[in-house]
């Protein structure tokens, strides 16, 4: 019953989740009386679900416990209580950033980071976190500016990896490879970075070298889905379709594997083979397979012919 009440409170808008932070950031935008009413309402709601804390540390401990139990709604409420008790506490703000990123609430994470940087505007770790967050938000220019500022001050594999991702997204494959290799020097044996190097090589059509890096990533983590998926793409590009299919099936259903290969073959212009794979994907799916059907419709448009 209590958990349902919390869900209801969180559904009632951003009142509990975001308002205390927004008030702290924009005091001129809200009248003093409204701020006081909001605070009182938040306090009443917290009490109504039995969230009692004796101190900031107590609130943090209870929030962390809720996180460990995957009760994210409850964790948010405890963190907000901690914030109300200590709105300038860096530990509290950092915990809120971490939680909001974990649950993909990037705008709220950004608000917390701004409060942290307001206190410590030259803190490299905070600037790096903000740059990586803006990368998630697709704010590419702002992210690059912050991550470049970080690497100008200190060597950081996270910042170099982020710059590599940015370069890849903007199809700057040579820059991406260089950034990823710098990240690899600082954090060797990372499957993520090795996979990223492989993808940058794949993007510049260095297929053999790309395969070596995918293999290195998978030697460290044989179940790493990103590297497996990229390895399957590589095998398909090399026209090793049976091997690509086996890799796809290992990380997805048979229907998805057929759809993936159908799409790849369609992009390569092998329409007849693509048609067979897409039809098989639709046949294997226990319910309507929209993605495969959409690909089939696109194939028919590309081919400009009718299929029986």
Select the CATH number that applies to the domain covering 1-121 from these four: 3.10.310, 3.30.310, 2.60.40, 1.25.40. 1.25.40
Per residue in 92-124, pLDDT tens? 999 999 999 999 999 999 999 999 999 999 999
pLDDT tens digits for range 194-251: 999 999 999 999 999 999 999 999 999 999 999 999 999 999 999 999 999 999 999 9
Q: What is the pLDDT averaged over residues 129-139?
A: 96
Backbone CA torsion sign across 90, 94, 95, 100: positive
Which is higher by pLDDT, 121 or 267?
121
In this structure, are residues 241 and 248 in contact, taking their beta carbons and an 8 Å threshold? no
Measure the CA–CA gap between 144 and 107, rounded to whole angstroms: 18
> Closest Cα to residue 165, out of 212, 117, 133?
133
pLDDT at 156: 97
pLDDT of residue 296: 78
Q: Are 84 and 71 in contact (CB under 8 A)?
A: no
Distance spanning both ends of the chain, measured CA to CA: 56
Structure tokens at 136: 């998630």
Provide the whole-model pTM. 0.78
Domain boundaries, the chain: 1-121
57-71: per-residue pLDDT in tens? 999 999 999 999 999
């Amino acid at each position: 019953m209590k958990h349902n009440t919390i869900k209801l409170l969180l559904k009632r808008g951003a009142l509990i989740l975001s308002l205390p932070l927004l008030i702290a950031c924009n005091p001129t935008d809200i009248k003093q009386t409204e701020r006081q009413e909001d605070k009182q309402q938040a306090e009443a709601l917290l009490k109504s679900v039995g969230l009692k804390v004796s101190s900031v540390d107590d609130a943090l401990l209870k929030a962390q416990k809720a996180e460990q139990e995957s009760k994210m709604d409850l964790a948010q409420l405890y963190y907000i209580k901690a914030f109300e008790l200590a709105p300038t506490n860096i530990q509290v703000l950092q915990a809120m950033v971490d939680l909001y990123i974990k649950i993909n609430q990037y705008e709220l994470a950004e608000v917390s980071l701004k409060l942290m940087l307001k206190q410590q505007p030259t803190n490299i770790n905070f600037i790096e976190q903000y740059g990586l967050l803006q990368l998630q938000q697709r704010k590419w220019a702002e992210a690059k500016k912050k991550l470049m500022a970080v690497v100008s001050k200190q060597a950081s594999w996270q910042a170099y990896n982020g710059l590599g991702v940015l370069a890849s997204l903007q199809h700057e494959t040579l820059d991406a490879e260089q950034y990823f290799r710098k990240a690899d020097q600082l954090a060797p044996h990372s499957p993520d970075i090795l996979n990223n190097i492989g993808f940058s090589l794949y993007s510049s059509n260095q297929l053999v070298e790309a395969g070596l890096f995918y293999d290195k990533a998978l030697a460290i983590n044989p179940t790493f889905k990103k590297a497996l998926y990229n390895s399957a793409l590589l095998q398909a590009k090399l026209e090793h379709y049976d091997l690509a299919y086996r890799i796809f099936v290992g990380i997805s259903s048979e229907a998805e594997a057929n759809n993936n290969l159908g799409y790849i073959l369609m992009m390569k212009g092998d329409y007849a083979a693509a048609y067979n794979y897409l039809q098989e994907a639709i046949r294997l799916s226990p319910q309507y397979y929209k993605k495969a059907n959409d690909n089939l419709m696109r194939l028919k448009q590309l081919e400009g012919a009718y299929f029986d």
